[in-house]
Amino acid sequence: MSTVEEVAAKIQNQLLAALPQNEFDVIKPSLRLVDLEMDQVLWEMDERRKHIYFPTTVMICMLYDTEDGNSIEVGMTGRQGMVGIVTFVGDARMAKRAVVMNPGQAYVMEAKYAEKFFEELPCFQEICLCYTQTLIVQLSQSIICNRLHSIEQQLCRYLLIYNDTLRSTVFNLTQARISQVLGVRRESVSLAATQLQEKGLIKRTRGKIELLDRKGLLATTCECYGVVREQNERILGKYFAQYDLVK
């Protein structure tokens, strides 16, 4: 693979792209690019974390399952982050499951290597800790959003995150999947999606949602989307500036 191709592959994940070349060269042999399928479960809460993932084109959702069988999203990760941060922070149980919500690729690294690099590579350690801060912000804001804001606002936030992560305006999304992630009834999602379509913000077809008006979604969503994005840029922006990645 040429140097240009290596750089192009590296910056598909923002955390890896932010590493200085000398540290990336150290961890590169431990990275393996894998295909992840829709609904693939990467880990359950009680399982030992054997791998961490650096998404490139995949969307991964962290879900918490209640005793009555309902699920609710507590965080979403794509090319901007990583999955398996508990490898570095101990036995913290931020979510019960990590599930692939949109198929694609990710770099996978065995946990034993991640722990070694965390101890030995200062920039890798700092970037992982900074990302942990942004993840905590996202988890906290998700709780606020699920508790205080309308389904229509939550759906807007969800679609904006998809747009940022996948860099696409057309998403393979069913109402059933959205209702699972938001932890609400399917009928409530249908009503909210209908309202957004009537406003000309989205277009729904069977199993797909097309984003028509991003500015309109930004005006309709709650402050949670902006808060999380602003914190991400504040905490991690200094690492991404050289690649112009915070967009």
Q: Which amino acid is at 168?
A: S
User: For 238-245, what is the mean pLDDT?
Assistant: 58
What is the distance between the alpha carbons of residues 220 and 213, in angstroms, rounded to a whole number?
A: 11
Residue appearing with tokens 């150290």? 26
Confidence of residue 241 (pLDDT cuts 50, 70, 90): low
Q: Report, as an integer, the average pLDDT of 87-103.
A: 72
pLDDT above 90 (res 126): yes
Residue whose tokens read 């989205």? 202
Kindly report which listed range (95-109, 186-200, 227-241) carries the lowest average pLDDT score.
227-241
Domain 150-221 has what CATH class? mainly alpha
Question: What pLDDT is stored for residue 244 in this prediction?
Answer: 47
Mean pLDDT of the chain: 85
pLDDT at 8 over 70: no
- With residue 96 as reference, give the H or E element that holds it: none
Evaluate if residue 247 carries a pLDDT over 50.
Answer: no
Q: Identify the CATH assignment for 3-119 out of 2.60.120.10, 3.80.30.20, 3.40.50.1220, 3.60.15.10.
A: 2.60.120.10
Span(s) in the chain for CATH 1.10.10.10: 150-221
Task: Read off the pTM.
Answer: 0.86
Tell me, what's the pLDDT at 89?
A: 63
The pLDDT tens digits of the residues spanning 197-218 come to 999 999 998 889 999 999 999 9
List where CATH 2.60.120.10 sits in the chain: 3-119
Centre a 10 Å sphere on the Cβ of residue 145 and count the other Cβ atoms it contains: 23
